[in-house]
Amino acid sequence: MHYPKTLNGKGEVIHVNPQTHLVKNNDDKSPLSDVDRMDHSEVLRSSSLYLGEVEVAEKSAAGGIRFSGTWYKGIIVPALYWSVRHLPLFIAMLPVYFVIGLLRLLYVAPGNLLRESIQSFCKLAEHKGYSYKPRKIYRQFLINIQYILKYYLMLYRGGVDAVQSFIEISPADAEKLEKLRHEYGGVILNVPHNPGSAFAGLKINMTWPTLIISKNSATIERTKIQLAFFERMNIKVLMVRGGNPFELSRTMFTVLKKKKVVATTLDKIDNSEGRIEAEIFNHKVGFSPWAAKIAIKLQVPQVPVYFMSQGKTIKAIFGEPLVTNDIDQSVQHYVSFFEKCIYEDPASWSFLADKEWRRRLCKFSKAQ
């Protein structure tokens, strides 16, 4: 069976069934089936978007509901968003308290992947001289999530004035970054996934003009919710899921020539051929070098930052700036800083709950 040809966003030829609009891969010789996926897209506009608008593509399983993490977030996030708009704050937080309490009780449950990830990390940390109890990290991890969700709800209700005092940036770090920004024309902040990293962007933007590079949610509805909160943070964001890498580079070049700060998360494992391998937890792991390449091209400093959750406070920990022509050194610089901070405060690293990092931590701990 043959289907009409068209081009996708990457300029590649694809085949589309005109009856079902299902997309058939070029390397798939079989007819389209019920388990193929359908694409839906919508152009979203927001005052928080640096480019004014973004086209969000959403993929849904044609064969029916699949109970994945994306499916669950697609139910929970809109429910919380509705609650914060229509209910008192305490009542809106009740589902969060319930879920956090349930997760605490499930610590000993067989197959608790978060617990397994933390246990593997603790074995690695022990070889570095740290002594952690997995249950304590697990509990603090959940507390950090609970506080950040509460702050987001407070942000939606009261704006930045209601929450900016919860984020700490030392005057010395603020002065240092201000000098770098004026001396080099711009600064790239290299950030790992912390519960408070995106949220802390509002305080960073209050200190320096900032652009956040963010991966938008996998669904259109949740991306709209993301934008609603970015609007209340009064911050500009460039969303990059499925975007054009040339557009990203062009925007970065423009922004970093205007004495602005660009913040982006860089601790996601990269298995592509273009990855740069850096040492972390005594093993080599691949990371994307795109931010390092731009920093080298423009000769602007990269400054690693870790957002440490300390009870009700989110504290920004800044590393040393680096300007270099060596891409391997550039990536290793911020990866080593991430590693140091994770060892010192593992409960503030969100990727303890990441499935790819869980596999690596488990593998690394067994190899000790």
pLDDT digits (tens, 9 = 90+) for 162-200: 999 999 999 999 999 999 999 999 999 999 999 999 999
Which of the four pLDDT bands, split at 50, 70 and 90, describes residue 257? confident
- Assign 1 to helix, strand or coil: coil
Q: What is residue 9's predicted lDDT score, i.e. its pLDDT?
A: 43
Query: Residue 45 belongs to what domain range?
Result: 5-69
What are the DSSP E strand ranges found in 150-301?
A: 167-168, 186-191, 210-214, 236-239, 260-265, 276-280, 283-287
| Nearest-10 crossing angle of helices 245-255, 290-298 | 40
| Residue 352 belongs to a domain | no
Q: Please indicate, yes or no, whether residues 156 and 275 belong to a single structural domain of this protein.
A: yes
- Give the residue from 25, 46, 69 where a domain finishes: 69
- Give the residue from 69, 89, 123 where a domain finishes: 69
Q: Please indicate, yes or no, whether residues 334 and 219 belong to a single structural domain of this protein.
A: yes
Q: Please indicate, yes or no, whether residues 289 and 204 belong to a single structural domain of this protein.
A: yes
Q: Please indicate, yes or no, whether residues 39 and 133 belong to a single structural domain of this protein.
A: no
Token look-up 């246990």 returns: 119
Rounded percentage of the chain residues whose pLDDT exceeds 90: 67
Q: Please indicate, yes or no, whether residues 194 and 211 belong to a single structural domain of this protein.
A: yes
Q: Please indicate, yes or no, whether residues 63 and 75 belong to a single structural domain of this protein.
A: no
Pairing of strands 53-61, 236-239: unpaired
Q: Which residues pair with 40 in a beta bridge?
A: 58
249 near 240, Cβ under 8 Å? no
Q: Please indicate, yes or no, whether residues 120 and 77 belong to a single structural domain of this protein.
A: yes
Q: Please indicate, yes or no, whether residues 150 and 45 belong to a single structural domain of this protein.
A: no
Q: Please indicate, yes or no, whether residues 176 and 322 belong to a single structural domain of this protein.
A: yes
Which of the four pLDDT bands, split at 50, 70 and 90, describes residue 240? confident
| Residue 80 belongs to a domain | yes
The letter for the amino acid at 125 is: A
Split into its structural domains, the chain has a count of 2
- Give the residue from 69, 91, 114 where a domain finishes: 69
Pairing of strands 260-265, 186-191: parallel
- Assign 54 to helix, strand or coil: strand
151 near 199, Cβ under 8 Å? yes
Cα–Cα distance measured from residue 35 to residue 66, given in angstroms and rounded to the nearest whole number: 11
* 353: its two tokens: 């709950």
Cα–Cα distance measured from residue 146 to residue 169, given in angstroms and rounded to the nearest whole number: 22
Rg (CA), the chain: 22
Q: Please indicate, yes or no, whether residues 46 and 79 belong to a single structural domain of this protein.
A: no
Q: Please indicate, yes or no, whether residues 24 and 127 belong to a single structural domain of this protein.
A: no
* 315: its two tokens: 């504290």
Q: Please indicate, yes or no, whether residues 254 and 341 belong to a single structural domain of this protein.
A: yes
Higher-pLDDT residue of 32 and 222 is 222
Whole-structure pTM value? 0.85
